[in-house]
């Protein structure tokens, strides 16, 4: 903080100035204010005097000064007095009458009348606020040793090994592939249509709403979807290709860095247990809180497991005001999502600050692969090799490449999750069957026609498959692609329900009646018709209404 010792002494009232002077062995200050301040400053800058004052302090008083020294010499005034006791406000008359320095009410008040702690106003990241301050001149002469404020010991690892998951990376690849393969126009407000979101979310490996909100926000923030000439949202070629081609550790790092630098994603407003209210009278800084959590996470040893409850408690002990530099817990309007209760006061720290820390670690940091969290057990976490690189504690890890894509005998393409570039390209020329590890796709006439509309001819499909599999394309598949290019679709497999009736007259009657004919797709024999699977129950109801009781085969 910028105020030096002389400036701090200049703000001290005359009575306290006399008390401080006597505590530092200076009797009889000059009458003129400026001269008195200069004389006391000189006395308090003497290392010998500083050692004598330090020797007279109690262990608690030394601990308070070590705390201030360890946090850079200043901390929010409410935080200091909450931890080290109050300093009573008294005017000159009451001071002379009660002489509080003789029986201080707290450690903080004792240091106050020794001139070791001052109260001043500074400008921080969130505006002006009061701090408790040790001037740098005193920090230089007092034999104060910094103490580690953040203390966290490892805990036992989970009983079962925790396998790393890149489900968020897989779902981002799915999202990009979806917009590449489907013509989606943004709404008038620039948002994604709800129908497209609902369709896309069916393919996600994790449908959690908060995780989806995070993923979709990240894509918008990165600008990875752009409107093409026809008005459809499409992946931006250069950044998307760069990300898809990157190694999994690099993919994680790129996304984690985007989140770290994003002031528009407010983690506090995505905690299900909290309901922050937009009153216009308060604001929080997402980057301030995020950087604090990352700073303490960097103190964890990669590969060790830690209790999340212990981590939260350690932050509370070392830096409770990590997101409120002014130390004020009464000005934010945050409700409990269940009870509607306003969560004001430091007594609600665990329900707000504690919840935020837990949400950041088990949410974005776990989704991004910075930490590992045991499946179904969010009480423990571990800093991953990628996380250590993200926090500047190690080099980015080298991981073995995933296995290549496989073409099954039935022409189904199996793409390992780590092959995200290949999966993105496959989705342009094949129909999705299953998204996971591996993801499965099937080449069909419809998918090949879609590829042709993207100016991807069969020979390019063959070349891509050879590159992605690392071997020749099966001759049967090559011939099938060549035949499709020459003749188009020649066969089609469909799921249908057979309707069988006893005589031809009944089938003609059903095919003519408005209530039933809409469900009959095709008559393939005098007493047999085809019905779409989705219409079977509707046709059965229509038959009952005509007085015909249909029979269903037992499953």
Range of the domain at 536: 497-545
Q: Both 50 and 129 in a single domain? A: yes
Does residue 492 lie within any of the structural domains? no
Out of 26-35, 117-126, 255-264, least confident range? 117-126
Q: Both 273 and 381 in a single domain? A: yes
What is the structure's pLDDT at 409?
81
Q: Both 284 and 353 in a single domain? A: yes
pLDDT digits (tens, 9 = 90+) for 489-542: 555 556 778 899 888 888 999 999 999 988 988 888 889 888 888 888 888 888
Cis peptide before 260 (omega within 30 of 0): no
Out of 76-80, 103-107, 332-336, 463-467, least confident range? 463-467
What is the structure's pLDDT at 3?
80
Does residue 256 lie within any of the structural domains? no
Q: Both 182 and 137 in a single domain? A: no
Does residue 410 lie within any of the structural domains? yes
Phi-psi region of 377 (alpha: psi -120 to 50; beta: other; left: phi over 0): beta
End-of-domain residue from the set 192, 216, 246: 246
What is the structure's pLDDT at 107?
96
Does residue 162 lie within any of the structural domains? no
pLDDT at 551 over 90: no
User: Beta-strand (E) ranges in 367-452?
Assistant: 371-374, 377-383, 406-407, 412-415, 431-434, 439-442
Residue 479 C-beta-side C-alpha neighbours within 13 Å: 3
DSSP state of 443: -
pLDDT at 158 over 70: yes
pLDDT at 268 over 90: yes
Task: Calculate mean pLDDT across residues 324-344.
Answer: 93
Q: How confident is the model at residue 145 (pLDDT cuts 50, 70, 90)?
A: confident
Please tell me the total count of domains within the chain: 5
Q: Both 75 and 109 in a single domain? A: yes
Q: How confident is the model at residue 1 (pLDDT cuts 50, 70, 90)?
A: very low
Q: Both 328 and 437 in a single domain? A: no
Structure tokens at 201: 């979310």
Does residue 323 lie within any of the structural domains? yes
Does residue 152 lie within any of the structural domains? no
Start-to-end CA span in the chain (Å)? 78
What is the structure's pLDDT at 308?
96
Q: Both 136 and 9 in a single domain? A: yes
Q: Both 293 and 345 in a single domain? A: yes
Q: Both 532 and 478 in a single domain? A: no
Does residue 9 lie within any of the structural domains? yes
What is the structure's pLDDT at 487?
63
What is the structure's pLDDT at 54?
95
Q: What percent of the chain has pLDDT over 90?
A: 59
Average pLDDT, the chain: 89
What is the structure's pLDDT at 338?
94
End-of-domain residue from the set 101, 124, 141: 141
Q: Both 98 and 225 in a single domain? A: no
Q: Both 504 and 482 in a single domain? A: no
Q: How confident is the model at residue 555 (pLDDT cuts 50, 70, 90)?
A: very low
Q: Both 354 and 434 in a single domain? A: no
Other beta carbons within 10 Å of 510: 22
Look at residues 145, 120, 207 and name the one whose alpha carbon lies nearest to residue 170: 207
DSSP state of 155: B
Distances (CA, A) of 516 to 502, 503, 509, 521, 536: 17, 16, 9, 11, 11
pLDDT digits (tens, 9 = 90+) for 221-237: 999 999 988 899 999 99
Q: What percent of the chain has pLDDT over 70?
A: 96
Task: Calculate mean pLDDT across residues 117-127.
Answer: 80
CA 430/CA 201 separation, integer angstroms: 19
pTM of the model: 0.80
Residues whose CB falls within 8 Å of the CB of residue 280, separated by 6 or more in sequence, listed in order = none
End-of-domain residue from the set 487, 512, 532: 487
Task: Calculate mean pLDDT across residues 82-108.
Answer: 92
Residues 370, 386 contacting (CB under 8 angstroms): yes
Does residue 554 lie within any of the structural domains? no
């Amino acid at each position: 903080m910028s105020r030096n010792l002389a400036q701090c002494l200049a703000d001290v009232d005359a009575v306290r100035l006399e008390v401080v002077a006597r505590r530092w062995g200076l009797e009889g200050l000059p009458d003129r204010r400026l001269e008195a301040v200069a004389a006391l400053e000189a006395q308090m800058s003497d290392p010998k005097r500083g050692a004598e004052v330090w020797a007279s302090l109690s262990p608690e008083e030394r601990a308070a000064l070590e705390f201030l020294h360890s946090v850079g010499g200043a901390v929010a005034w409410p935080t200091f007095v909450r931890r080290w006791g109050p300093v009573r406000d008294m005017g000159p008359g009451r001071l002379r009458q009660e002489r509080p320095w003789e029986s201080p009410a707290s450690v903080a008040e004792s240091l106050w009348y020794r001139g070791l702690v001052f109260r001043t106003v500074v400008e921080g990241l969130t505006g002006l606020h009061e701090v408790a301050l040790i001037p740098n001149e005193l920090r230089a002469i007092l034999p104060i040793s910094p103490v580690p404020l953040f203390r966290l010991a490892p805990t036992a690892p989970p009983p079962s090994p925790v396998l790393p998951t890149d489900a968020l990376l897989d779902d981002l690849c799915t999202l990009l592939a979806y917009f590449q393969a489907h013509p989606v126009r943004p709404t008038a407000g620039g948002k994604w249509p709800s129908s497209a979101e609902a369709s896309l979310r069916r393919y996600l490996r994790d449908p959690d709403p908060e995780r989806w909100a995070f993923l979709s926000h990240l894509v918008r923030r990165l600008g990875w979807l752009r409107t093409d000439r026809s008005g459809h949202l499409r992946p931006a070629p250069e950044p998307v290709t760069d990300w898809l081609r990157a190694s999994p550790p690099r993919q994680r790092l790129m996304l984690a860095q985007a989140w770290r630098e994003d002031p528009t994603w407010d983690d506090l407003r995505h905690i299900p247990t909290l309901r922050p209210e937009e009153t216009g009278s308060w604001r929080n800084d997402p980057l301030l809180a995020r950087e604090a959590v990352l700073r303490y996470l960097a103190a964890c040893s990669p590969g060790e497991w830690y209790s999340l409850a212990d981590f939260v408690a350690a932050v509370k002990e070392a830096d409770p005001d990590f997101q409120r530099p002014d130390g004020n817990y009464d000005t934010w309007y945050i409700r409990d999502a269940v009870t509607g209760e306003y969560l004001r006061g430091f007594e609600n720290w665990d329900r707000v600050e504690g919840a935020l820390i837990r949400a950041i670690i088990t949410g974005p940091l776990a989704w991004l692969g910075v930490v590992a969290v045991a499946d179904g057990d969010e009480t423990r976490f571990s800093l991953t090799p990628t996380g250590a690189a993200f926090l500047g504690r190690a080099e980015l890890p080298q991981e073995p490449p995933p296995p290549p894509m496989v073409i099954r005998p039935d022409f189904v393409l199996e793409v390992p999750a780590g092959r995200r570039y290949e999966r993105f390209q496959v989705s342009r020329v094949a129909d999705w069957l299953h998204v996971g590890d591996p993801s499965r796709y099937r080449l069909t006439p419809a998918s090949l026609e879609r590829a042709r509309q993207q100016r991807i001819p069969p020979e390019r499909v063959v070349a891509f498959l050879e590159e992605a599999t690392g071997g020749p394309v099966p001759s049967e598949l090559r011939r099938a692609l060549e035949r499709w290019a020459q003749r188009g679709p020649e066969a089609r497999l469909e799921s249908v329900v057979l309707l069988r009736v006893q005589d031809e007259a009944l089938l003609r009657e059903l095919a003519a009646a408005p209530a039933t004919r809409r469900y009959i797709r095709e008559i393939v024999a005098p007493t047999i018709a085809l019905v779409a699977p989705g219409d079977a129950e509707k046709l059965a109801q229509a038959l009952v209404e005509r007085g015909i009781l249909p029979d269903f085969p037992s499953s």
